[in-house]
Amino acid sequence: MKIVSSLAPVLLLIFACRLCSMTGGQNLDPYKGSVKDLLPKEASVGLIKFKLSTSQTTEFESATDAVKASYTMQAVTISMPVELTVANFPSSRDAAAAVEAFANKHNFSLESKTKGGTNVGQRLTFGDGKTIMWSNGSLQCLASSSFPKTTSNLEEALPF
C-alpha cells in the first residue's frame, strides 16, 4: 500500500508532462496568446518535414486573432506547399460552433479530432481529403494542399 501511495505523485507528474507535450505546454481553452506564436518554424511526422515559409495576420469572422501561413513539405526530394489558417476564438465552444456551422452549411459530416489519444475538438475533411478543418480548444484550423496525404501529415505534425 505504501508503494502505491508513493507512486501516485510520480504518475500524476508523468500524466501532466504528457498532456503539456501534446499542446506544446499551452492551454488552448481558451488560448490567450498570439496565434502567430503557436506556429512552429519546423514540424515533422516520420521522415516528412514541414518548414514555415511565410505567416501573416489575417481577418477571420468572429475570431479574436488569426494568421495565414504557408508551409513547405519536404520528403526526400519532393517539395510541396501547404496552406494553413489558424483562428483563435473566445472559447472552445465558439471554435467548435464555427466548425459545425461550416459543416452544416456545406452538408459535411463531422468527426472527433484527437491528439495523443485524447478528444480535443471536431474535424472535417473535404475536397477529396485535400482540405481539413479542425478545432482544438479555442483554435480553428484549416489546412489545404494539392494532395490529401500532405494535408493530413501537416495536421498530424502540428502541436494543435
* 21 has a pLDDT exceeding 90: no
Average pLDDT over residues 1-5: 48
Tally of domains in the chain: 1
Tell me if residue 72 falls in helix, strand or coil: strand
Task: Please indicate, yes or no, if residue 112 is contained in any of the structural domains.
Answer: yes
In a domain, residue 16? The reply is: no
Q: Is the pLDDT of residue 38 over 80?
A: yes
Averaged confidence pLDDT in the chain: 86
| pLDDT band for position 27 (cuts 50, 70, 90) | confident
What pLDDT does 23 receive?
A: 40
Domain range holding 54?
Answer: 27-157
Check residue 145 and report its DSSP letter: -
Q: Which of 26-30, 34-38, 58-62, 154-158 has the lowest mean pLDDT?
A: 26-30
Q: What is the pTM of this model?
A: 0.82
How far is 148 from 26, CA to CA, in rounded Å?
28
In a domain, 101, yes or no: yes
Q: What is the dihedral angle through the alpha carbons of 65, 32, 135, 154, rounded to the nearest 10 degrees? A: 80
Would 77 be classed as within a structural domain?
A: yes
Q: Is residue 127 part of a domain?
A: yes
Is residue 50 situated within a structural domain? yes
Give the model confidence (pLDDT) of 98-115 as tens digits: 999 999 999 999 999 998
Q: Which CATH number is 130's domain given?
A: 3.40.1000
Sign of the four-CA dihedral 137, 84, 21, 129? positive
Asked if the model's pLDDT at residue 10 lies above 80, the reply is: no
Q: Is residue 6 part of a domain?
A: no
In a domain, 21, yes or no: no
